[in-house]
Structures are given as structure tokens and as C-alpha cells.
Amino acid sequence: MIEGFNIKTTKLECVEIYQTKRRDYNTKWTFHIRSKTNLNLFIKSINFGLKRKRNKLLKVYNSFHDFEKSKTKRISTIVEKCREIENKLGYIMSKSLAKECRKSQGWAKQIIRELIKNNILKIKTKRWGIEGAKYIIVKRNS
């Protein structure tokens, strides 16, 4: 039904099949709408019959936060912190990134893995004994 209105959703699944008082069968569905445009399409095309649910939907729409844009902003902020660390020390370590961002070292290791996967960082020296791995920013050809 939702695809007929060109609304892009994820995690569409039937969560419950139940019988009504009139012995009819109904289903409950859940899905995620990831962009404000798709949420707006949902409101215009489908909406809800119950005023309480319509008001909740409008509240969600008005307070909608685009996580993809904020993720991009976060990554650029983290890369900027990595540049500062590299300029200061000549390399980046999970410990120095965690300290600079005031986060846990586990968080920093996850971020570093993600940055390596996206070809933003590369390994300068591997971990050796108690000395952690050192990373550098990949130079871009401009």
C-alpha cells in the first residue's frame, strides 16, 4: 500500500494479526520512515483516522531530525579533530582521539574502523605489545 504512494520505508513487518469483535481479522504493521519528505507524503496520502494519532504524527513531523545530515556533520567534525591530533603528534591513536573528543576509547576504536573502511584513515604502524596502533589521514589528490 505504501509503495503505491511512493513513500520509501524500511523495516516493514507485520507485528500482529488479531480478530475483532465482529470476527473480522485485522493486522498491525510497523515500518520506519527515514526522511521528512517521505513523512510529509505519508501525512498527505494516508494519515490517520483518529485525531489522537494524527496529532502525534504532526508532532513527530514538526520535531523531525534528519540523522543522515547530522551523521555527515559529525564525521566532518571527527575528521577535523583527527587533523588536529595528527598535526600535534604526527599520528592518531584511539586513545588520543577519545581524549580529544571526550569519549570512551571503545567509541574511538569504532570510529577509527569506520574511517579506515571509508578510506579516510590508514594504518601507519600496527599495534605492538602495549603500544597501540597509529593511524594517519589519507592524503587526497586535489
**Of 62, 2, 3, 74, nearest to 36 (Cα)?**
62
The fold adopted by the segment(s) 76-137 is Arc Repressor Mutant, subunit A (1.10.10)
Residue 32: strand pairing partners: 10
- Is pTM beyond 0.85? Reply is no
1 confidence band (pLDDT: 50, 70, 90): low
DSSP string, 20-68: -TTS-EEEEEEEE--SHHHHHHHHHHT--SSHHHHHHHHHHHHT---HH
pLDDT tens string 76-89: 889 999 999 999 99
**Of 2, 29, 33, 31, nearest to 14 (Cα)?**
29
Residue ranges of the chain that CATH labels 1.10.10: 76-137
**What pLDDT was estimated at residue 9?**
82
